[in-house]
Every structure is written in structure tokens, then in C-alpha cells.
Amino acid sequence: MTLRVLTGITTTGTPHLGNYVGSIRAAVRASRQPGVQSFYFLADYHALIKCDEPARIQRSTLEIAASWLAAGLEPARVTFYRQSDIPEIPELTWLLTCVAGKGLLNRAHAYKAMLDKNAAAGQDADNDVTAGLFMYPVLMAADILLFSAHQVPVGRDQIQHIEMARDMAASFNHLYGERLTLPSALIDDSVATLPGLDGRKMSKSYDNTIALFAPAEQLRRQIMSIVTDSRAPGEPKDTEGSALYQIHRAFADDDEAAALTRAFADGIAWADAKQQLFERIEREIGPMRERYAELMAHPEEVERLLQAGAQKARAIATPFMRELRHAVGLRPMSAPSVVATPKAAAKSALPTFKQYREADGRFYFKLTDAAGRTLLQSRAFDAPREAGQAVKRLQNEGAAALKELAPQLDLSASQTEDHIAQALALLMQAAAQ
């Protein structure tokens, strides 16, 4: 099965060097790997949650799209689209809204941070909290689950959102059958967070960013303004704690980095070190800048690429959404429901997994045969997704998974291993059809 990787970029700002080093560059590289199906999208619905300036959203959407394309994203290889071009996303958002626990959403960091801020300011808890902010994790779950993504490359601050998407998927599957793929966050620890002009993490909120595709002269001026200590030319300099050195490190190969380390020890003047940094960045970014300028001058070309991307995305989203609507009971009057079609009848003769919660508040699953007899009984799990994971493994690997899962199974309440193995084989066979 191809690995599906998906990530979204909120369209509220102009890409800076930190975005390039922290996500764009690695994502473009990853998208060229064989055997991976990549989805990149402009999260403009998410942008509405924090930005009420229409012109800025439109501008940022163009800038981000042009940046990714200029950085080498090949629309023919990946699915590159704008969130708001996919009506199935808000549609799935609603289905997930109906299975997402309010308590789960109460725990979201971004929402809780607002409550804390209000409390600290002596304000009403809900001051300035929109329902959009509260629902942010559900929209994000829909983004991910609609395309059955396995991996979601994100920053650490987004891990909780991926966990919540898993939770919602597990709840949905529990109610309506295994349809949604449980995603995992993919954290790349090798990409450094880039320091900004003042040495703190490069971030729009600190106003210390270096624009990714500013004209070369502006790039040079910004680099010249990076803070350094006051050591004079000829005095040895520390690489440690040097923002200049760290930014250089993010672009340089090992030899280039070693050369700058030596130059620091030999007392290179800060101005010369900055010039070297400028030249190194320019070597990588310069050629992309031309393509960026071209795209910015032709928004209709970017629009055309995004429309083609939306078509590609909807080729997946539309039939899948139809299946999900059917699963929850949003069906034409004429569609068969309880009355079994031959296929459904065959299915009902199969053993089935059931996931459920006991009065003890913990989570369980069992495998029952067509007559409802328990073939396999699990022990308790703390979280529904753990139970879901074990079920997934049994479905995918059959009896081969039994040994490793043994500590999680209550074998005294189960049938013999042969019985279980037979049932699992039957299920795998049916799934392969």
C-alpha cells in the first residue's frame, strides 16, 4: 500500500526563511520519494479562525502557493490544492463534529490558552473565543481523514491535533465500521528551528523574520542586521549561541559549516561572516526567486494549478464522502439499508470486531462470530485508540499478530487459537476481495 503523507499550511502570512528550513524544503524533498503519495494544501478555512482581513488571506494564499511551487513542488507528482476548493472538507467536518466529544475539544491547547489568557486578564472565560477556534481540531481532522493520510508532518505544537484526529476517527469507526485511517504525526527532529534576527526563534509573532523571497538586496540588508556580540575583527568568535552560525548551518553542508567554524576561531569580522551567509543563502534561494516573481506576476497561473489540484483531490474526496454519508445513514430513500443485499448478507456471515466501553470507563474489543459468540476477548485499554490499534493489527496481520498482542488479550475468555486464527483469515480474505 502506498504511504499517504498530508500536510496543510495556514494562509495568514508571508513565508520566511524559518518556514523554508522548517517545512517547505523537507516537504518538497519528501514529495520526490517514490512510493509516497503526498498531499499539500493551503488551509484557508483555518486562516479565517485567526484572520479577518480578506485581502491578507487572498494575498497570503497566493504567496504561500507561489513559494511552494518556486521551491520545487511539482504539482504533477503531488496533490496540491486549496482547502476551500474541496466542499467535502466542511461536509466531513460536520460528521466528525457529531462524534467528537466536547470534553476532548475542551482540552485543546490553543483553546485552553485563550481561556487562561482571559482568566489572567480578569475577563469572562469565553471572551474573544469563537466557535471556530473551539472547532479548529475538528476541521483539521477532516482535512486529514478525508484523504486517509497515514502520516502528517507537523511541528510539535500540532501533535495534540493529530491525536485528536485519531480519536475522532476511532469514534467514527466504532460507530460506523472501519472506514477512517488513523493518522500519525511525523516529527522531523533533524530540521532545526531557525533563530531570527534577534536570536530568538524566527517567528512572525516576534517580528524577527527574514522574508524568503525578498529582493536580494533586502535579504542582504536583513542578514547584515542579525544581532552578534561586539567582538572586533581578529578576535576569535563563538559558534555556540550565534544566530548567524545557526542560520548558516541550516543551509551549509558539513564542509562549509566546518570552514565557517574555523573562520570564527580565526577571528573573521562579523561583516565578512554575514556576507558569507548572504552568499550561501542566495546560492540556494536566488534561482527560486525568479520563479517566485513570475508566479506572483501571474496569479491566474497559480489559480489554474490549484484548480487542477482540486480536481485531483476531489477524485478521491467525492466518492469517499459518498461512502461516509451512506455509512452514517444519509442515504437516498431507495437505497437498501436493513434489507441485506447479497454482498451485505455475505458480510453479515463474517466474524466481526466490536469496540466498546465498559462501566469501568475503560475500552475493550471483542471478535464475535456470525452468531454473536465471542471468539476473542481483549483486556481493558485506557484509550479507544489503543483498542483500535490492536484491532487494526489483527485485521491486517491476522493470527500472526496474536503472539505480540497476547498481553492485551484475555485468552481465558476466548476460544482456542485455531478458532481465532480461522476467523481472522476469513476476515482478511473478505477484505482482500
Residues that bind ligand TRP (CB under 6 A): 6-8, 10, 43, 46, 140, 143-144, 152, 154, 158
Q: Quick check: 3 and 151 in contact, CB under 8 A?
A: yes
**Residue closer to ligand TRP, measured from CB, 5 or 223:** 5
Q: Quick check: 248 and 276 in contact, CB under 8 A?
A: yes
Smallest distance from the beta carbon of 28 to ligand TRP, in angstroms? 16
**Residue closer to ligand TRP, measured from CB, 109 or 354:** 109
Smallest distance from the beta carbon of 189 to ligand TRP, in angstroms? 17
**Residue closer to ligand TRP, measured from CB, 48 or 70:** 48
Residue among 68, 40, 69, 43 at smallest CA distance from 57: 43
- Cell matching residue 393: 493489527
Smallest distance from the beta carbon of 91 to ligand TRP, in angstroms? 16
Smallest distance from the beta carbon of 100 to ligand TRP, in angstroms? 15
Q: Quick check: 10 and 47 in contact, CB under 8 A?
A: yes
Smallest distance from the beta carbon of 132 to ligand TRP, in angstroms? 13
**Residue closer to ligand TRP, measured from CB, 45 or 278:** 45
Q: Quick check: 423 and 375 in contact, CB under 8 A?
A: yes
Q: In what order do the strands lie in the sheet with 363-368?
A: 352-357, 363-368, 374-377
Number of Cβ within 10 Å of residue 415's Cβ equals: 17
- Alpha-carbon distance values, 182 to 167, 323, 388 (Å): 8, 17, 9
Smallest distance from the beta carbon of 163 to ligand TRP, in angstroms? 13
**Residue closer to ligand TRP, measured from CB, 10 or 61:** 10
- Report the SS3 class of residue 8: strand
**Residue closer to ligand TRP, measured from CB, 10 or 208:** 10
Q: In what order do the strands lie in the sheet with 79-82?
A: 79-82, 36-43, 3-10, 151-153, 184-186
Whose CB is nearest to ligand TRP?
8
